[in-house]
Amino acid sequence: MTTTVTTVPPMILDEVEAVRVERLSPSFVRVELGGACLAEFGVDGPLYDQRIKLVFPYADGPLPSLAGADESWLRVWLERPVEERGHMRTYTIRDVVGSAADTRLVVDFVVHGEDGSAGPGSSWAERARPGDRLVLLAPRRGHAFGGIEFDPGTAARLLLVGDETAVPAICSILAQLPWRARGAAFLEVPTTTDVPSVVHPEGVEVVWLPRDGAPLGSLVHDAVLEHLGVPGLVVEEPDVVDPDLWETPTYSSSGEEVESAVTVVGHDLDDLYAWIAGESGMVIALRRALVSDLGVDRRQVAFMGYWRRGVAMRS
Ligand SMILES: Cc1cc2nc3c(=O)[nH]c(=O)nc-3n(C[C@H](O)[C@H](O)[C@H](O)COP(=O)(O)OP(=O)(O)OC[C@H]3O[C@@H](n4cnc5c(N)ncnc54)[C@H](O)[C@@H]3O)c2cc1C
């Protein structure tokens, strides 16, 4: 007799479908992604900034085949020509609605590129209709998947900073914080009409910064430095910016030792936890201010480049 052993992959890797599409504002399209596979979706605790991967079809062609997909799928997928594999991009779960086989992941897509530079993610969202399909990589309940960076530990004060690509993550974090949480969130968005209403603890001040034509990152810089009590500090973006900038208490994309980078300080930022995400140049300039100039402990910050001006994400 032959016995067949089937192993369940530790993540959900399956096709999902746009069930609902809503244009929230000039820069945001909300899509609810559904599929029977989502009955298995779940994480152990709050979702906070849980990220997922989405694969968009190449030039409106078919999605890559998932036949026989297992944990090695990503490596195999990367070896295929782009015409077959499509484009993978990273997004945040803004919310989860429904339950069991009717579970839907809510994703807020930033639509960009009026100058013709829109990538496959933005273009797909701009044209999305119910029934359109994508490949999803997401956490499977009961398995470690990773992808949540927000981890304030016992910090008494939060500082959340982001541009439009981090709005879904910050809104999700705000909605799931304990009601006693304290701190401030600074969110830069392209226009005044992009400002959504958001659920947040009373003790966390939420400051919306619509650019309305101002340079990307400029409003958030000034507002954050003023909040930290150093309004005159000059923060410049370095000449060379790592598009994949990622520095958290447990990982540094530059290879910097977290322990050796720790500075012991005695000022009133000691109780702060800072989570900063968005365009890499904006994030790295704020990193300079917080870590290099103000000496905030590297273990109390997460700096994440979500995208880089002029650079398409690798897929
Ligand atoms: C952990 C994580 C979570 C994220 N969550 C979200 C999310 O919930 N919603 C969301 O919309 N994005 C999110 N992003 C950012 C998103 O992955 C990038 O913006 C990605 O580049 C979009 O892919 P694309 O195909 O549209 O553009 P790409 O093909 O990557 O880039 C094409 C061109 O568009 C430019 N570009 C890319 N993004 C933007 C932008 N936002 N504004 C202006 N120009 C841009 C690039 O510089 C490039 O010139 C997240 C990223 C990470 C790492």
Shared-domain flag, residues 134 and 162: no
43: in domain:
yes
Last residue of a domain, one of 139, 170, 203: 139
Shared-domain flag, residues 42 and 68: yes
Q: Which DSSP state fits 213? A: T
Shared-domain flag, residues 176 and 77: no
Are 132 and 18 in contact by the 8 Å Cβ rule? The answer is: yes
Query: Residue 190's pLDDT is what?
Result: 98
Nearest residue (by CA) to ligand 1, atom 5, is 91
Are 140 and 9 in contact by the 8 Å Cβ rule? The answer is: yes
Shared-domain flag, residues 180 and 298: yes
Q: Which DSSP state fits 119? A: -
145: in domain:
no
Report residue 201 CA to chain centroid gap: 21
Query: Residue 99's pLDDT is what?
Result: 96
Give the DSSP H or E segment for 28: strand 28-34
CATH number for the domain including 86?
Answer: 2.40.30.10
3: in domain:
no
Tell me how crowded residue 299 is: count the other CB atoms within 10 A of its CB: 14
Helix (H, G, I), strand (E, B) or coil at 220: helix
Shared-domain flag, residues 167 and 94: no
Per the structure, the complete domain to which residue 123 belongs is given by: 11-139
Instruction: Give the contacts of 19 (CB within 8 A, at least 6 positions apart).
Output: 32, 33, 34, 104, 130
Residue-by-residue pLDDT tens, the chain, 315 positions: 566 555 678 899 999 999 999 999 999 999 999 999 999 999 999 999 999 999 999 988 899 888 777 778 888 888 899 999 999 999 999 999 999 999 999 999 999 987 778 899 999 999 999 999 999 999 999 998 899 999 999 999 999 999 999 999 999 999 999 999 999 999 999 999 999 999 999 999 999 999 999 999 999 999 999 999 888 888 778 888 888 889 888 888 877 766 544 444 445 788 999 999 999 999 999 999 999 889 898 889 999 999 999 999 877
Give the DSSP H or E segment for 122: helix 120-127
Shared-domain flag, residues 211 and 89: no
147: in domain:
no
Query: Residue 265's pLDDT is what?
Result: 47
Query: Residue 258's pLDDT is what?
Result: 62
Structure token digits, residue 255? 């290879």
Shared-domain flag, residues 189 and 229: yes
Shared-domain flag, residues 120 and 215: no
Rounded distance, CA 121 to CA 110, Å? 9
Are 42 and 108 in contact by the 8 Å Cβ rule? The answer is: no
Our count of domains for the chain comes to: 2
Query: Residue 174's pLDDT is what?
Result: 98
Rounded distance, CA 267 to CA 135, Å? 47
165 CA to centre of ligand 1 in angstroms:
7
Shared-domain flag, residues 47 and 131: yes
188: in domain:
yes
Last residue of a domain, one of 139, 171, 187: 139
Which residues face 43 on adjacent strands? none
4: in domain:
no
Last residue of a domain, one of 105, 139, 173: 139
Which candidate, 152, 158, 149, places its Cα nearest to that of 269? 158
Query: Residue 123's pLDDT is what?
Result: 96
Nearest residue (by CA) to ligand 1, atom 19, is 307
Shared-domain flag, residues 30 and 130: yes
Structure token digits, residue 22? 């809503």
Q: Which atom of ligand 1 is nearest the CA belonging to 109?
A: 11
CATH number for the domain including 224?
Answer: 3.40.50.80
188 CA to centre of ligand 1 in angstroms:
15
Structure token digits, residue 67? 């036949």
Q: Is 133 exposed, middle or buried (0-12, 13-18, 19+ CB in 10 A)?
A: middle
Nearest residue (by CA) to ligand 1, atom 31, is 312
Query: Residue 213's pLDDT is what?
Result: 95
Q: Is 49 exposed, middle or buried (0-12, 13-18, 19+ CB in 10 A)?
A: buried
Query: Residue 261's pLDDT is what?
Result: 45
